[in-house]
Chains A and B, each alone.
Chain A
Amino acid sequence: MSQTTSTPLPLAKAAAAATSDEPRAATRRRWSVWRLVALLLGALVFLFPFYYMIVASFQKRADTSVGGIIPQAGNLSLHNYVQIDKAIDLGKTLLNSGIFTGGVLLGTVVLGVLAGYALAQLHFRGRGVLFASMLLLQVVPFQLLMIPLYVLIVRDYGLGDSYLGMIAPYAINSTAVFVFRQYFLQLPADLFNAARIDGASELRILRSVALPLVKPAILTATLMTFIGPWNEFLWPFLVTKDHAKQPLAVALANYISTVAASAGNPYGAILAGACVLALPAVALFVAFQRHFTSSNLGSGVKG
């Protein structure tokens, strides 16, 4: 390899390229076939469990044979969905999931945007400290804070079985604040100075100058934030003992670990619940997949 680089003759190079053109095209074709096969295999491994989840959720009797992969006309019913609804009240638990997620989104989009804007474009005392704490927050894992947060929120403040107790530790998503800051930083400072000279208040500048320019960032961060509370299990599980306040993920998990044995087709009912839990997040991400691309994510991660 190093020998070939040391021959600086362009003619020799061109000659070598010409002679190897034919087999190289063949290898390129072979590679692209292999690449596609690998990608398709990967997609199969990723998607099959979801396909199977949907198929099995409609089975009257659980059919774990290989033939059960294909829906059988005689074995289809909505019975599992009725059963899981009777057991954990899908409407109520979905509403709880929605309130939990909505609270977090509201906190992140309103208070997080304010913080992100301040960190990027405003000069005030304590900005460095705030920025450093934000970075630190990403590093310290939740499991260390779990017990003290439980002590504070459930025991001291008496917020067990309340939406506020569920939302509090997630109220402002720090990763989203970081993404907001990155996007606000990319806007030229002159833009803001011009608006300031015109006498616009900072809130006005944020609302009519900065926000319209970072709409995509808001959407990306909202999507990222959504899956956190919607899918979260551990914290709401600790906080809610009352069935009437449990989000769907918690109610379904409790169903899996306790009552499943009493149902006629326990897996069918569980998978029906799993479909209901998975659908909103998957649908949102498929609908907005353009906004969840590597470049958007990259700008958040690269920093």
Chain B
Amino acid sequence: MVSTALPAPSRRSTRTWTNRLLGRQPIGLVFGAPYAVFIAIVFAYPLGLAVWMSFHAYFFTAPGVSVPRPFVGFDNYRAVLGDSDVRQAFLNVLVFLVINVPLTVVLSLVLATALNAAVPLRTFFRVAYYVPYVTASVAVVAVWLFLFSSTGLINRSLGSLAPSPSWLINEHWAMPSIAVFVSWKQLGFFILLYLAALQNVPKELYESATVDGATRWRAFLSVTVPGVRPATTLVVLLSIITGANLFTEPYLLTGGGGPNGKSASPVLLIYQRGIQQNHPDKAAAIGVLLVVGVLLIAGIQQLLERRAAR
């Protein structure tokens, strides 16, 4: 301390000079550098490359071989949009969202509300609910395949009520089955989100609702639901992103998006077109369209919500 006090004037001047250029703690640059490099390599550059690829003719070559990759404008997009498989896959995601989003929001809010009260076995319930969320999709897909196979436990229990052909190979049931599976798997995470949000709903509101003679159901609708609206926005948004990201379920649960592509997802097609069939340019175009679609749906949701809140 004493030694630093002596040459103070000159040191201070150099320090302010570097501080002005690099900030008060330039060491932060060193600490942040690995993460910055990581973002640049596996995020920023690939993001640019994805968009670039979607506007050029691009295919895989042996390493080191350079081939012309001419600019083709919107050709890839035109090809992709003209592809009935791709259109079907986007339609499938809509079917998925129509089932998955309401199911997720309603069930996770109801279970979180129930769990928020002083109930016995609380820890047990919390653990039970997030076990599917922390387990690998591949592992739980295996059980669902077993449960929902033609001669599986579900069909045996249902007897003549079982759909034919069975759930996962039935054109009408394949996508709804995936939607229910994903709702089941993700629900624990969303219950935790809602539990956190419920802590922010003021207790006085419930008290005054009770004094006003409101029933439990009424209090739930007019206190809980508006109270957790920000969380609901987040849950819906994350559900939409999950829906857009579907790959493991159609790949394994319905054997590659079957039957007849009725459960194919855009990401499955990105894999098939891009890597299996060597059309990475078209796959990149599907990816860009998918992200634009997600942003559009999220934007519409925001608009509707703002209007509802007004």
A binding-site residues for B, Cβ under 8 Å: 1, 4-5, 13, 16-17, 27, 31-32, 35-36, 38-39, 42-43, 45-47, 49-50, 52-53, 56, 62, 64-66, 68-69, 111-112, 114-115, 117-119, 122-127, 130, 133-134, 137, 140-152, 155-156, 158, 168-169, 171-172, 177, 199, 201-203, 227, 230-231, 233-234, 238, 249, 252-253, 256-257, 267, 270-271, 273-275, 277-278, 281-282, 284-286, 289, 292-295, 297-298, 301-302
Contacts and interface: CB of A to CB of B under 8 A. Distances in A.
B47 A140 contact: yes
A147 B132 CA distance: 29
The range of chain B's interface size is 35 or more
Contacts of A31: 216
Contacts of B107: 42
A68 to B, nearest CB: 7
A145 B43 contact: yes
A17 B210 CA distance: 10
B67 interface: no
Interface stretch (B79-87, B146-154, B167-175): B146-154
B137 interface: yes
Contact of B213 (A4, A42, A137): A4
Contact of B290 (A143, A231, A238): A143
Contacts of A168: 41-42
B105 interface: no
Interface of B (DSSP majority class): helix
Contacts of A227: 134
Interface string B118-161: 01110111111111101111111111111101011100110000
Given A141-B245, A158-B63, A43 B139 contact: no
A232 B107 CA distance: 26
A49 B140 contact: yes
A191 to B, nearest CB: 15
Contacts of A118: 28-29, 31-32
B114 A38 contact: yes
Interface in B171-189: 184, 187-188
Nearest to A1: B212
Contacts, number: 327
B98 to A, nearest CB: 20
Contacts of A146: 267, 270-271, 274, 287
B266 A143 contact: yes
B8 interface: no
A146 B266 CA distance: 12
Given A43-B128, A141-B291, A274 B31 contact: no
28 contacts: A38-B114, A39-B111, A39-B115, A50-B132, A50-B135, A64-B146, A64-B149, A122-B24, A123-B23, A124-B25, A125-B22, A125-B29, A140-B291, A143-B267, A144-B288, A145-B46, A146-B274, A147-B287, A148-B49, A233-B138, A233-B248, A252-B138, A270-B142, A270-B145, A274-B139, A274-B140, A281-B135, A293-B192
Residue with the greatest number of chain A CB neighbours at <10 A, chosen from B120, B138, B192, B248: B138
B284 interface: yes
Contacts of A53: 139-140, 142-143, 146
A281 B136 contact: yes
A124 B35 contact: no
B46 A148 contact: yes
B6 interface: no
A151 B35 contact: no
Nearest to B1: A199
B45 A152 contact: yes
Given A199-B1, A298-B199, 4 more contacts: A47-B131, A145-B47, A278-B136, A284-B134
Residue with the greatest number of chain A CB neighbours at <10 A, chosen from B26, B35, B110, B134: B35
